[in-house]
Amino acid sequence: MLFNSWQFAVFLPVVFALFWALPKHLRPLVLLCSGYVYFAFGGLRYTVLLAFITLVSYVSAALIEKNREKAGTVLLISLVLNFGILFIYKYFNFFSVSLSSLFGRQGLTLDLLLPAGISFFTFSTASYMIDVYRGKLRAERSLVNYAAYVAYFPKLLAGPIERAEPFLAQLKEAKDFDEKQAMYGVRLIVWGLFKKMVIADTLAKYVNLVYADVHGFAGGTLFAAAFFYTVQIYCDFSGYSDIAMGVSDLFGIRLADNFRNPYMAQSIQGFWRRWHISLSSWFRDYIYIPLGGSRKGELRTALNTMIVFLVSGLWHGANWTFILWGLIHGLAQVIERKLGIGRKESDRFLGRWGRRLLVFAFALLTWIFFRADSISDALYVVTHLFSGIASPIRYLRTAYAQLGIDSYTVLCLPYMFLVLFIFEVKAVKKDPVAAVGEMGRVKQFIFCLLFVLMFIMVLPVRSSNEFLYFKF
């Protein structure tokens, strides 16, 4: 069930009404049931998988807390089972085919459809068990509360990867309805839908057209597709996170912020402190720091960084393109650390906007590997991006013609990019979504009217797509 579907437009008000109408002690049950109904839209059989992973982690955490002598063994078994399921569904075919091709044999493959959200809820349950093992969190006594945490529908399919402690604390608090928080949530939902439906979906059809056959397009077209995808993936994924946080605000539960204007970062390290924050912090707390972090010398720090980004690449998908994408980002961070980029003494280098432009350019180039179907396709795009740019007018005209952009879309695209750019710049210092709520009623009405008009404007040119991170 997509956030931008009519089914969700019916589902959400029903759950919202039930949640606030029923007694406080029944609200976790409402969230639990609604989570399974929501998940069932992606395949009823996968609800059994979700229930199994939930039950295993719930029981394991209780055993870990109860018997500290065997806690390590219980944690190891439960993590192997937890990640083993993820491996079978997401990585078995990739490793089987890769190893078999290495030895010149036919690989065994399993005909399994990847359940949406499995990478997200397996990481959530793993972090819960590890936190209980470390003594940072007590094992949750209520199975309903814990199951509601795992199956909480706003974050279930594409995050953020919420930690158990803050979520369960808010769930148990059972607050009264907060109109201010709910209205903020509504505005956040509208902004998220704008980024997804107006910007990301409009750009998607051009990106998909080019990456379906990169060898059939000229340099200007390849550059346009790379630029469009850089904007598309941000608007698609951050749009989902905005909607998820906005929906959660309707239930009085504040989810962790997952994006903080990543393209406004002035270093690659800064980019990863702003992009998919819940995943980055997960890798930091459960892989990077346990490996030694930056405490064991320069070489070990570099190795730990590369390991984290290798795993990050694999987390995003079972393809060599994702692995290479992760390694490039890891190497960039190692180089930045060595050169001292991002520290105060380097702040004058190129100026604020110069550094931001470099980060955006780096992101654009590396997203090519992320989006391409193969490494060879990605290398072709990278090496042909500027083919023909010596004749800039022809370079642009060819892109315009090959993409099939009509005159109406030409008017819409700059408008969308300008709105996004203004929002991102403003958000560096102040949350624009909160600022709208501080406006007078007349200004709010005019602002909302402009947004409605923008939605209407792009209806003829947009395509409907599922959220990109459902695949991861």
- The residues annotated as belonging to the active site are 316
**Cα 93 to Cα 454: distance, rounded to the nearest angstrom:** 43
Contact at 8 Å (CB) between 210 and 218?
no
CA 264 to chain centre: 17
User: Tokens 């379906």 label which residue?
Assistant: 212
- Measured CA to CA in angstroms, residue 381 lies from 299, 311, 360, 370 at distances of 33, 25, 17, 12
Contact at 8 Å (CB) between 384 and 224?
no
Look up residue 159 and give its amino acid. Answer: G
User: Tokens 């009404």 label which residue?
Assistant: 17
- Count Cβ atoms within 10 A of the Cβ of residue 209 and give its class: 0-12 exposed, 13-18 middle, 19 or more buried: middle
The terminus-to-terminus CA distance of the chain in angstroms comes to 16
Query: 263-273: b or e for each residue (b if 16 or more CB lie within 10 Å)?
Result: bbbbbbbbbbb
**Cα 24 to Cα 432: distance, rounded to the nearest angstrom:** 33
Helical axes 219-250 vs 392-403, angle rounded to 10°: 60
Look up residue 166 and give its amino acid. Answer: P
User: Tokens 């702040």 label which residue?
Assistant: 347
Contacts of 400 (CB under 8 A, 6+ apart): 410
User: Tokens 């953020």 label which residue?
Assistant: 160
**Cα 189 to Cα 185: distance, rounded to the nearest angstrom:** 6
CA 3 to chain centre: 14
Report CA dihedral (200, 201, 203, 207) to the nearest 10 degrees.
110
Counting DSSP H helices and E strands in the chain, the numbers are 22, 0
